[in-house]
Copies of this chain bind each other. A is one copy, B any other.
Amino acid sequence: MFLKGNIAYTPSPEKFEVIESGYLEIVDGLVKGVYKEKPAGVNDADVTDVGDQLIIPGFVDLHLHAPQYANVGLGMDMELMPWLNTYTFPEEAKYKDVSYADKVYSQVVKSLWKNGTTRSVIFGSIHRESTNRLIDMMIEAGLSAYVGKVNIDRNAPDFYMETLEESLSETEQFLKDNVGKSDLVKPIVTPRFVPTCTEELMRGSAELAKKYDVPVQSHLSENLDEMAFVKELHPEFESYGYVYDEFGLFGQQETLMAHSIHLTENEIQLMKERGVWAVHCAHSNANLGSGIMPIRQLLDNGNKVGLGSDVSGGHMMFMPANITLSIQLSRLVWQETNHEQDALSTSEAFYLATKGGGKFFGKVGSFEEGYEADVLVINDDNLGVDGLSLQERVQRFIYVGDDRNVVSRYVRGELLEEPSFDKLVSS
């Protein structure tokens, strides 16, 4: 099949590749090529012509918390640790009730669909059954994701805590439930973060990740109080990242570390050596007053970097809003460092939210040959685009567009209808 329209994507961070009224060829869910002219012999019946609309890659969100969705936009006047205890843990605890999970997770999945987030990496709650429901809903919707059952066995409220044994056994069952279930939606081992995971839990999680060959996600060096607490818990380690490393959670399997703000030089090097991802969550980091990730330093150093919405520490599921704030914060850093740290360009930040973060999934987020065909069709009629170049139209969509502009989504070549969970959701 072919999609015909105004194609824009970023094979490299330096610039947008744009083709006006071009053809995107998709074969067996993969991009076959992008052409300026209709290839010889192509039948019109094989071409979906989207007219003057934009065709861009689907967005990749490397960090969000599905069971915090009901708190989005609330409690934005706290720091991490009190925010967790006041807003977050009580809300996440509700997911013991599967019918509550059905109710909210169906909204989360619809919101991902609506906002054009075709790939995401998601924290569930500590509850296996509810997290399984989320996986089933993502499969039903046709969206692609890694989804984790969270592990917590210390320093959390009684109502939101596991024993070491149940945390590990439920995680193993969660992996058995979901490994091999879907090509698009897969489980990920998810120890919440050092403060809430005993050494045994960290080590056991790492063993499960290795045994089932699944990736790992957690949080790293988001907040200074959090880091002081980690230091208190593990004074014998050089710094936070080394705790994860000791217990096998720092790149032994493919690993995402959300936030990664207050890093030491040694940690940055270790993350590079181990291939550990730093996930930049600009909205969350600003909302909670956590700080600004040294994104330029990480990129210059060759570290793996992607973007995350971190809903609900961040309030914007729509990835372009995360692109925009990432650029804005980088421009303020550029100013504050007397232009020593270059700001992110628009194409670079777009790259991070498509092909850059997409690498976590494989060949995802670009329209180069062999990439999985995750595609958004963007109608920007309402954005006043008369006379703009195609590149300017993409820039305007990123800055002032919203979910209204996302009119079609494809994952691996499949057009996704609006999710409806009549069959799955009991309520």
Contact = CB atoms under 8 A, between A and B. Distances in A.
A346 interface: yes
A107 interface: yes
A200 interface: no
A328 interface: yes
B291 A332 contact: yes
B291 A76 contact: no
A118 B89 CA distance: 40
A286 B329 contact: yes
Given A328-B287, A343-B289, A346-B77, A72 B399 contact: yes
Contacts of A402: 402
A292 B329 CA distance: 11
B343 A400 contact: no
A173 to B, nearest CB: 31
Contacts of A77: 327, 343, 345-346
Question: Which of A224, A328, A343 has the largest number of chain B CB atoms within 10 A?
Answer: A328
A165 interface: no
Nearest to A338: B224
A107 B392 CA distance: 19
Given A343-B77, A396-B72, A335 B107 contact: no
A63 interface: no
Nearest to A282: B328
A180 interface: no
Nearest to A290: B335
Contacts of A404: 404
A384 B332 contact: no
A399 B331 contact: no
Interface of A: 70, 72-74, 76-77, 107, 224, 283, 285-292, 315-316, 324-325, 327-329, 331-332, 334-336, 343, 345-346, 383-384, 388, 392, 395-400, 402, 404
Q: Which 7 A-B residue pairings sit nearest by Cβ, starting from the closest?
A: A73-B399, A286-B328, A289-B331, A73-B396, A289-B335, A315-B399, A73-B400
